[in-house]
Amino acid sequence: MLVVEHLAKNFGTLKAVQDLSFEIKDGEILGLVGQNGSGKTTTFRMLLGLMQPTAGKVLWDGEKIGEKQKDLIGYLPEERGLYPKETIEQQVMYFGKLRGKAPREIKEKLDYWMEHLQVKGKKNDKIKSLSKGNQQKVQLITTLIHEPKLVILDEPFSGLDPVNAQIMQDAIIALRKQGSCVIFSSHNMANVEQICDRLVMIKDGRQVLAGKVQDIKDSFGKIKVFLESPLTTAEVQAVSGVVAVKERGRRLEVTLSDPAAGRELFELATKDGYIPTFSQETLTLEEIFKLKAGEKDEL
C-alpha cells in the first residue's frame, strides 16, 4: 500500500507540488491527471526517491521508501530510455539483472510478455528496427520484468494507436488483478475513466480533485442532457436552468446549471407524448478536467 502525506516540492520560489495527499491500496489503479507543468512528473520523481520532497512523506507499507523498497518498484518514464543498438533480449536481460533476476527467469518472463503485449518482432531484433509502438511495449516489459509491487507509468499511452492503446490498457488492468499498486498519468481521460479506481487531479501543483472516479463524476450532478424531440434549439434555450445548447445532428446536447432543471425540460419535451431520446447524464472525466483546468479558484 502506497501512502502519500502532504507532499510538497519547492524550487526556490516556485512551488511545483503543494500539500498532495492520497493512497493506493494493493490491487488498485490511481490516475494522476493535470495539464502539462502541473507537477505530475515531479510527484513521480519524489515517489521514486529520485528527488527529496520539501515537505511531507511517501510510505510503502508503513515505511519510507528507501533502498530496500526500490526493487519493488517498476517505473515507465514519459521519455523513453531504451538502447537502440541492443536487441530486445539484451535490453530486457540488462534491466532484469539490475533488479536481481536470474537469466533463466528473465527469459521465461520475456517470452510471456512478448506474446501478451503482441510485440511485432523477434527477441534478437534490435530496438531501432521496431516501430514506436513496439518500442514502447518493450519498455513496458523492462518496467514489469521483475514483477514490481508498485508500478508507476508516466504517460504510457502516448503515441499509441487505438489497437496498441487497448493492449496497454489490458496489461495495466492485469496488474490490478495481480494485486499490484498502479499509478499512471495520462492526457486521455477516456483511459482514466475506463480503468482507474481512484483519481487525483492537480493544477499548478495543488490537488483540486481526489476520490473514486464515479464519486467525482456524481459530485458534479447529472447536468448534461441528450435530447431528440420536436423542440427547437430556441425553445430549449428558453427553459429555466439551461445554460448551453449544442446541435449534434438530430440531437441536442444540453448543459444545465442544476440537475433539477432536467425535469422541466423532460416535461416540456414529452408534452405531446413519445420522443426518441432523453438521457440525463453526469459529465465525462474529460469535461470535468476541462472545467477544473480552466477555473481560477480551486475547490
Q: Residues 31, 184: contact at Cβ < 8 Å?
A: yes
- Cα–Cα–Cα angle for 9, 10, 11, rounded to 5 degrees: 130
Of residues 225, 183, 204, 192, the one with CA closest to residue 60:
183
131 within 8 A of 160, measured Cβ to Cβ: no
Which pLDDT value is given to residue 270? 97
Percent of the chain at pLDDT > 70 equals 98
298 has pLDDT over 50: no
Alpha helices in the chain (DSSP H): 40-47, 88-98, 103-116, 132-144, 162-177, 189-195, 213-219, 233-237, 261-269, 285-293
Is residue 287 over pLDDT 70? yes
| pTM score, whole prediction | 0.86
What pLDDT is recorded for position 150?
A: 95
In this prediction, residue 190 has a pLDDT band, given cuts at 50, 70 and 90, of confident
Q: Output the pLDDT for position 70.
A: 81
Q: Which CATH number describes the domain made up of 221-281?
A: 3.30.70
- pLDDT value at 152 more than 90: yes
Domain boundaries, the chain: 2-217, 221-281
Are 6 and 12 a contacting pair, CB within 8 Å? no
Q: What is the pLDDT of residue 299?
A: 32
Q: What average pLDDT does range 27-39 have in this prediction?
A: 92
Half-sphere exposure of 101 (CA within 13 A, CB side): 24
| SS3 at position 279 | strand
Domains 2-217 and 221-281 share a fold: no
Picking from 9-23, 59-73, 218-232, which range would have the lowest pLDDT averaged per residue? 59-73
**The domain over range 2-217 is classified in CATH as 3.40.50.300:** yes
* pLDDT at residue 296 is higher than 60: no
Pick from 101, 100, 122: nearest CA to 111? 122
pLDDT of 113 above 70:
yes
Grade residue 228 by pLDDT with cuts at 50, 70 and 90. very high
- The predicted model gives 19-25 an average pLDDT of 94
Which residue type, as a one-letter code, is found at position 78? E
Q: What is the pLDDT of residue 297?
A: 41
Provide the pLDDT confidence category of residue 208 given band limits of 50, 70 and 90.
very high
> According to the model, what pLDDT value does residue 8 have?
96
Please name the residues in contact with 201: beta carbons below 8 A apart, sequence gap of 6 or more.
Answer: 33, 34, 207, 208, 209, 210, 289, 292
Which pLDDT value is given to residue 295? 64
pLDDT, averaged across the chain: 92
Torsion of CA 41, 45, 51, 56, to 10 degrees: 90
Q: What is the mean pLDDT of residues 95-123?
A: 93
Q: What is the pLDDT of residue 66?
A: 79
